[in-house]
Amino acid sequence: MRFSSILLTLVALVSSGLADKSCTPSFDYCSDVLIKSKGFTEADLKSVLKGTDLENEDVKNVLFHCTNPGIVGHPKLCSSGCKDSATEGSHQCDG
């Protein structure tokens, strides 16, 4: 009985962590928006950068593209930082 309770709790925790991430496909997001209001963590975003030429960049300087609800990719370096917009998904690089 204990094992099934632990297993059920573990499944619930994993499921809730995955369900919390959301973004609109084809929209671009700065890291701060993804972290503050879309359920992503800095570790999530750093994992997207692994294996790319942006792997050692600060996530604050990267524009992420939402490829599917809850999945970001296609990172783009914003050398002057990422600029938030009042419109959902319309973020861009500064300067």
**Cross-sheet strand order for the sheet of 62-68:** 28-30, 62-68, 71-77
Within a domain: 35: yes
pLDDT for 37-84, tens place per residue?
A: 999 999 999 999 999 999 999 999 999 999 999 999 999 999 888 888
Tally the domains of the chain.
1
The SS3 of residue 45 is helix
pLDDT for 5-23, tens place per residue?
A: 443 333 343 444 445 899 9
What is this structure's pTM? Answer: 0.75
* Residues spanned by the domain of 31: 21-93
